[in-house]
Structure 1
Amino acid sequence: MMKKVFIFSAAIALSGCFAGKHKVQALPDAELNKPYFIELNVTKYAAYPDNFRVKMDPLNSGLTVKPTDEWYDTVHISGTPQTKQDITIEISYYIRGSGGFLGLGKKNHKKFYQIKVKE
């Protein structure tokens, strides 16, 4: 019994270490089977197109994320949600010019978003 309590306590303590790792921005809610659209400013700097990546979960959500222009600083999230499951989006990118490599000291940037899907 004592061993189970220790393992449970250790698991809770370790999960707290990872809880604040990523700041997730909540986006406006979507409705199941109804069109959704939002324009989102990801960064105030231009990003390299070859290093701009989007991961979405679930993959079959019905939404797409597309940059609006050659600067890759703003995206459109649009489509029709096909599943009643919250959608998480991770966008990773490199900033062009001195803002990314010299000015900010960090090449790879990541942002996390969540869209709640309601019926």
Structure 2
Amino acid sequence: MKLAVDGDCGCGRPYTLLEGIQGRVQETLRFARPDGGTRDVQPVTFHQVMDTVTAAGWQIVQRPAGLDVLLARPGEVDTSVLAASLSSALEAQGVVAPSVTIRAVETIPHTALGKAPLIVRGP
């Protein structure tokens, strides 16, 4: 979270204004913009799409070649529709959507600490 912006809220409330709220840095993925710059995309963009998928779990891994979407024991999932939905959600954030590969897996990989992160930033 970035703190204090100078000035008062236009609504008249006496609270400190925040410049912005950010998610965990490790869950933010960076993508190219059409103008050649980059933009960080917050996890909520992925949650809005993935939380509608019927599966025991999911994980999005950013790799140099694109996004790998892992679905643990998925139900009936149209992978082409899911890939298109993720691409559209990213384009709505003003970034160039990378290729999206969707794979069914038995379980979502865990870190050395035993956590199964939903968003994994690649190298």
TM-score by length of 1: 0.31
Structure whose CA Rg is larger: 1
TM-score (norm 2): 0.30
The higher-RCO structure (CA 8 Å, 6+ apart) is 1
